[in-house]
Chain A
């Protein structure tokens, strides 16, 4: 069946480039995403970007037939990959699929925004890809917050500096973990683990004091 001639024609604008990028394995892509998530590795992200951006651009140009919209889709998609790599989980699928679903959702929202006004369904309602689930440590937090605000007292001053600063920002200044991560320029994972360690220590101190 010859159902694809139209697409073939549209591909003509593509020029040749080395094949090397095609050999990137799923394992390698997963490793790059993990590095972005854990240490915000610019090198790992650049590699991801060089692999996916041109492909996304080709895809989006075919879809929209508009270069500016296509570039917006590439930029939005890769911005989410950079900031939200921690939401990728290899058990749910490959990195390629994860990035495709991000792009699919952004495209879906762009197309609907052209047709409808506000209060519309978002792709994220239909296909949650980037929504933050309440993680265990977040819940731990919610539970601890009540105790802490009253009982934290002066205890937190006794924590090691790295943990004290995180606790100060979150519990005293009311910042989110993400904000602390951005401001102190440390990975979100590190903020989470420092908070967890600090909470453990605080609990011990409070219990010992009682």
Chain B
């Protein structure tokens, strides 16, 4: 059972295309894994579409369609009817799974469609591996793999962090998270993610570098871009 979902506010922004592509990727992947959110998103799409095409126009007395000049309208209509068909969009087949430490992990379709953008794996201290998903833009997104018994030092965020559990489980001071759980933290939250008996593959989105907060780990701060590049 998935316990943690994106807020409705995030889902609405996702549907409207108002979020950064990298955050859309995390939320889209959660929706692939979560029938509850998939349903909610269908409803939101209908509502947003209606508000764009119908409700907004009925909202007040003056709210009726903008009047395009008749001539301009007809010209566009003619142009469209005599236009060539846009090129067919044929996607390359999605990446279905990845292999890590001899173990196979299935990728949900949204992530799989961007599989060709998955970069190389590198090891970071604490039995943790990361591989970037290379999307252009400021925000960073990584696959993070924590072996069993691994931990990321306590840290906070200058910005926000979204984590989606793809497979396995991890815990922090607040709770325990499993397949499909989506966790969104802002700069007020400090946490120390760690795994126990089970390993864990997550998709993690950051819009600012991590800040390590405790003990020796503070020495890592100059390298906090280990998780942000």
Q: Do A and B come from one complex?
A: yes
On A, residues with C-beta under 8 Å from B are: 8, 11-17, 19, 21-22, 42, 45-46, 49-50, 52-59, 61, 71, 74-75, 78-80, 82-84, 93-94, 96-97, 99-101, 103-105, 107-108, 112, 115-117, 119-121, 123-128, 130-132, 176, 178, 182
Contact status B53-A52, CB under 8 Å: yes
Contact status A104-B17, CB under 8 Å: yes
Q: Which 8 A-B pairs have the closest CB atoms?
A: A54-B65, A100-B49, A108-B17, A83-B85, A97-B49, A58-B66, A116-B136, A131-B89
Q: Interface majority SS on B: helix, strand, loop or mixed?
A: helix
- Interchain CB contact (< 8 A) of B53 among A100, A124, A130, A182: A100
Determine how close the nearest CB of chain B comes to the CB of A82; give it in whole angstroms: 5
Contact status A101-B79, CB under 8 Å: no
Contacts of B83 in A (CB 8 A): 79, 82-83
Contact status A116-B137, CB under 8 Å: yes
Q: Does B120 contact A (CB under 8 A)?
A: no
> For the complex, what is the distance from the CA of A54 to the CA of B76, rounded to whole Å?
12
Interface string of B69-97 (1 = CB under 8 A from A): 00001001101110111101111000000
Chain B residues 18 to 39 lying within 8 A of chain A, measured CB to CB, are 21, 24-25, 28
12 residue pairs A–B, Cβ–Cβ below 8 Å: A22-B58, A42-B81, A49-B77, A52-B53, A55-B57, A83-B85, A83-B86, A103-B52, A126-B110, A127-B17, A132-B90, A178-B85
Q: With a 10 A CB-CB cut-off, give which of B65, B76, B114 has the most chain A CB atoms.
A: B65
Given A105-B17, A123-B17, A132-B89, also A45-B81 (CB < 8 A): yes
Determine how close the nearest CB of chain A comes to the CB of B107; give it in whole angstroms: 14
- Interchain CB contact (< 8 A) of A182 among B60, B80, B85: B85
Contact status B66-A131, CB under 8 Å: no
A-B contact count (CB 8 A): 155
- Interchain CB contact (< 8 A) of B67 among A17, A49, A59, A75: A17
- Interchain CB contact (< 8 A) of A94 among B49, B73, B117: B49
Q: Interface majority SS on A: helix, strand, loop or mixed?
A: helix
> For the complex, what is the distance from the CA of A45 to the CA of B81, rounded to whole Å?
9
Contact status A79-B46, CB under 8 Å: no
Determine how close the nearest CB of chain A comes to the CB of B35; give it in whole angstroms: 15
> For the complex, what is the distance from the CA of A61 to the CA of B88, rounded to whole Å?
28
